[in-house]
Amino acid sequence: MASFTTIWVCFVFTTELALPHVEAFCRFKNNHDQINVTCRKETKFPSGIPQNAFLIDLSHCKISSLQRKDLQSFSQLRIFRIAGSQLRTIENTTFDHNQQLNVLDLSRNSNINSDTTKTFICHLARMNRNVRELYLSVMNITTSDFYDIIRCLEKTQLTVLDLSSTIKGSLKNYTFSKMKSLRVLKLGSIYPVNLRALVNLTLLNTLRLSDTKLEEIPSFYDRDTNATLLPSLTALYLDANYIARLPSKSVGLDNLEFMSMRSNRLMRFTASDISTLSTKLNTLFFNTNKGIHIEECSFSESVTRLELRDCRIAFSRNVRTIFRTATHMTGLSLTKNTFDQSDDALGTIFHPMPNLTHLSLEYCSIKHIPDTTFQGLHRLIMLTLRGNRISKLSSKHFRDLHSLESLNLAENKLTMVYEDVIKSFPPSLKAVDFAQNPFVCTCDLLWFMKLFRGGRIVFLETDTNDAYKCYNPAEMAGKKLTSFEITDADCVHMSLGVKLIIMISGIVCFVALITLVVYRFRWYIGYGYFLLRARRREAMEVSGQTQYAYDAFVAYNKNDLTWVKDELLPLLEDEAHLRLCVHDRDWLCGRDVIDNIVQSIESSRKTLLIVSNAFAASQWCQLEMTLAQHRLLAEDRNALVLVLMEPIERRNVTPRLILQMRQQTYLEWTDDPVGQKLFWKKLLRSLKKQSGSIVHSSSVDRPKPEFSEDGIEPGCVDVDVSDRTPLSQRAHV
Ligand SMILES: *[C@@H]1O[C@H](CO)[C@@H](O)[C@H](O)[C@H]1NC(C)=O
Ligand SMILES: *[C@@H]1O[C@H](CO)[C@@H](O)[C@H](O)[C@H]1NC(C)=O
Ligand SMILES: *[C@@H]1O[C@H](CO)[C@@H](O)[C@H](O)[C@H]1NC(C)=O
Ligand SMILES: *[C@@H]1O[C@H](CO)[C@@H](O)[C@H](O)[C@H]1NC(C)=O
Ligand SMILES: *[C@@H]1O[C@H](CO)[C@@H](O)[C@H](O)[C@H]1NC(C)=O
Ligand SMILES: *[C@@H]1O[C@H](CO)[C@@H](O)[C@H](O)[C@H]1NC(C)=O
Ligand SMILES: *[C@@H]1O[C@H](CO)[C@@H](O)[C@H](O)[C@H]1NC(C)=O
């Protein structure tokens, strides 16, 4: 079980003390009276270790011999490790003065002569009654010396014995039968496996049978008694064997809780296979079983911890169901497998496991994490996503991770960790690892930099050289993140709020400017628009698109009726075939006078004003002229033709008439027959001419109007404006 805990990173906070007079490669851990000393790379036994040392670890050093004088001062010593230290000789009396010695690890010192080892162990077994754990893996011991050593150890109260890869070949029946206190026994490279060597180990809870060429899990039932050989066994290591399947019937491991089958040939299994082995089985290490057909696998409800590292599994939508019944899962490692990039593979796979606390997905080629992946994982404490190709994090990923304490995203493709993501980190988060990501060191990284520079969250691997570096932009490439100095002030112009303000004020300025320009040049703009309309109307008239009911509307005072009837109408209508609108004849009865005037002007191409003193004096005639001017101005038609019947007296001259006469060519009636001939010619021409635009009429030559000083008295009967009878009726009064 101990090895399981080493799988998950654990944080041990202890004070580290450097004692100056001790060799350079030793580290001291001091807790109350307990001093643990760990040395690496020493070539001889280090001096200066405190005499009250609790633990001395000289593993991986190059110390060739151990003598009594080396260790005699450490009367408190409980644990001594010197694994893999290239030991050649060891004095039998080395530990005679360390009567507290509890744990001795001599593993991987295969240079010690087998006989030396035997005499040393036998001496130790006799002298050190408190030794409980003895590690002798990968030692060079002959078979006969091995059984002698076991005879010596039978006298001790050993609980842990590691003999992995120490002797080759099958063990004899009853080898360990007299070591009844054994709880942990580690064996390796002993094949064929003879389980009868384990008879009588009723207290044994952990057995290691690694690298023993097992092709199936052997039966632990005693052939003689039909009872299980190891009734207390809870943990079984069967690593590096050739096991392809789980047994189909019970093998006498009813109390098994932990099973490690790393580096086997496991292919497929079902939840019931696991239950058959043991209904208490809760921890399975199936790492490096590269032939697993995961589609055909499933896990029983009892399984709470599972490792499937490096199994070459391609998780796709097809395997969503493998965890369907593993509802009690708390620790899961799927490291070094691959995930189909579709959302189906990763999106819901963890949803059946609401109690998951540790999840490891390292080196799984994950590019994209669907938002739903960690949904409902309220208890997740540790999430490891190292070595994937994740380039984007979403705040939705952390929405449900209320218990997350450790997050590892090292060696991914993150260029940026945005504000919303950092804000979505749960308050429980204590440590993160973002090493080896290709950060883009711009203002977008400001929030991440704030987090990085210090705060409640610890960044791991910051000591490692170049673990946190900028990759972009070019001028920052290769620089350490710690040298990326950036503050709020540097980035204030980049913040979203400021961007918005700049954008809005820009728009306001632009609108104000346009308004100002339009107001300042409103007349020019109006004129331009007028010109445009005039051109269009001209074009329409030229192409004959505008249809008029009449060629001309004749406005006159009733005093001039005779002239209109006798002279104008016969000539224009009968001879020139123009259609004229004359109010006496063409106005509709019962209609409003003003409506009639407007209607007549609009439905006539030209408006002919017969101006006499009576006309000028008459309010109705003035109204007609005014309306004609307004209408034609509104329509931009230069369609007024003025006929001056007589010189107009000054008192009848209104400003409007002057204006009209200034703007317009007008024709003067004369009594001279030759002049009359010319008059009719001109009149006809001006009535037939296209009506141009008012704004273009400047080209028309304009005789200066003349007014007689003392004209005839007006013959025009003034019409009472309040009189609502139609003009046509009044005209005949
Ligand atoms: C010393 O080592 C022992 C055994 O590994 C451990 O239980 C203990 O906590 C350690 N003490 C210190 C101070 O590190
Ligand atoms: C110690 O080992 C030597 C051989 O290396 C042996 O001659 C001697 O008798 C041993 N001493 C004890 C006390 O076992
Ligand atoms: C083991 O010891 C024997 C003799 O005692 C020696 O011949 C052999 O080379 C040693 N093996 C190793 C791996 O040291
Ligand atoms: C171990 O005991 C069994 C009977 O229980 C016997 O068949 C077998 O030959 C024995 N093996 C050895 C190596 O003595
Ligand atoms: C197993 O233990 C029992 C007593 O607990 C003892 O009688 C028996 O001889 C032991 N078997 C062996 C093979 O040592
Ligand atoms: C053990 O079980 C087998 C059948 O399962 C039976 O034949 C045998 O007699 C049993 N032995 C003992 C000692 O109970
Ligand atoms: C999760 O754990 C809680 C308490 O540890 C337990 O009550 C609950 O049944 C568990 N749920 C599942 C689905 O295992």
pLDDT digits over 83-104, tens only?
Answer: 999 999 999 999 999 999 999 9
Ligand 5 contact via 160 beta carbon (within 6 Å): no
In this predicted structure, the answer to whether residue 156 has a pLDDT above a threshold of 70 is yes
- The binding-site residues of ligand 1, defined as CB within 6 angstroms of any ligand atom, are 14, 29-31, 34, 36, 54-55, 79
Q: Which residues of 521-540 are buried (b: 16+ CB within 10 A; e: fewer)?
A: eeeeeeeeeeeeebeebbee
Q: Give the pLDDT confidence score for residue 715 in this predicted structure.
A: 35
Contact 663, 509 (CB under 8 A): no
- Of 141-155, 285-299, 502-516, 527-541, where does mean pLDDT reach its minimum? 527-541
Can you tell me which atom of ligand 2 is nearest the CA of 123? Answer: 14
Contact 330, 358 (CB under 8 A): yes
pLDDT digits over 181-192, tens only?
Answer: 999 999 999 989
- Of 342-346, 357-361, 575-579, 614-618, where does mean pLDDT reach its minimum? 342-346
Q: Give the pLDDT confidence score for residue 12 in this predicted structure.
A: 34
CA distance 329 to 282: 9
What number of helices (H) and strands (E) belong to the chain? Answer: 20, 31
Q: In DSSP terms, which residues pair with 184 in a beta bridge?
A: 160, 206
Burial class of residue 403, CB neighbours in 10 A (0-12, 13-18, 19+): middle
CA distance 634 to 593: 20
Contact 29, 16 (CB under 8 A): yes
CA distance 379 to 373: 14
| pLDDT above 70 coverage of the chain, percent | 86
Between 619-635 and 593-602, two packed helices, what is the crossing angle to 10 degrees? 40
Higher-confidence residue of 220 and 489: namely 220
| Amino acid (one-letter) located at 722 | S
Q: Give the pLDDT confidence score for residue 726 in this predicted structure.
A: 41
Higher-confidence residue of 702 and 553: namely 553
| Protein residue closest via CA to atom 11 of ligand 2 | 92
In this predicted structure, the answer to whether residue 620 has a pLDDT above a threshold of 80 is no
CA distance 564 to 580: 11
Ligand 6 contact via 226 beta carbon (within 6 Å): yes
Ligand 4 contact via 196 beta carbon (within 6 Å): yes
Q: How many angstroms is it from 224 CA to the middle of ligand 6?
A: 8
| Protein residue closest via CA to atom 9 of ligand 6 | 226
Higher-confidence residue of 187 and 647: namely 187
In this predicted structure, the answer to whether residue 5 has a pLDDT above a threshold of 60 is no
Burial class of residue 227, CB neighbours in 10 A (0-12, 13-18, 19+): exposed
Q: Give the pLDDT confidence score for residue 94 in this predicted structure.
A: 95
Q: How many angstroms is it from 382 CA to the middle of ligand 1?
A: 24
CA distance 104 to 87: 14
3-state class (DSSP) for residue 46: coil
The rounded mean pLDDT for the chain is 84
pLDDT digits over 505-529, tens only?
Answer: 888 888 899 888 888 887 777 667 7
Ligand 5 contact via 200 beta carbon (within 6 Å): yes
CA distance 589 to 382: 98
Q: Which residues of 478-506 are buried (b: 16+ CB within 10 A; e: fewer)?
A: eeebeebeeeeeebeeeeeeeeeeeeeee
Cα distances from 41 to residues 38, 86, 192, in angstroms, run 10, 11, 38
Which single residue is written with the structure tokens 């047994």? 247
pLDDT digits over 124-154, tens only?
Answer: 999 999 999 999 999 999 999 999 999 999 9
Count CB neighbours of 275 within 10 A.
15
In this predicted structure, the answer to whether residue 464 has a pLDDT above a threshold of 90 is no
Q: Give the pLDDT confidence score for residue 648 in this predicted structure.
A: 81
**Which domains, and CATH codes, for the chain?**
1-168 (3.80.10.10), 549-694+707-729 (3.40.50.10140)
Which bound ligand lies closest to the C-alpha atom of 87?
Answer: 3
In this predicted structure, the answer to whether residue 497 has a pLDDT above a threshold of 70 is no
In this predicted structure, the answer to whether residue 716 has a pLDDT above a threshold of 60 is no
Contact 286, 307 (CB under 8 A): yes
Ligand 5 contact via 203 beta carbon (within 6 Å): no
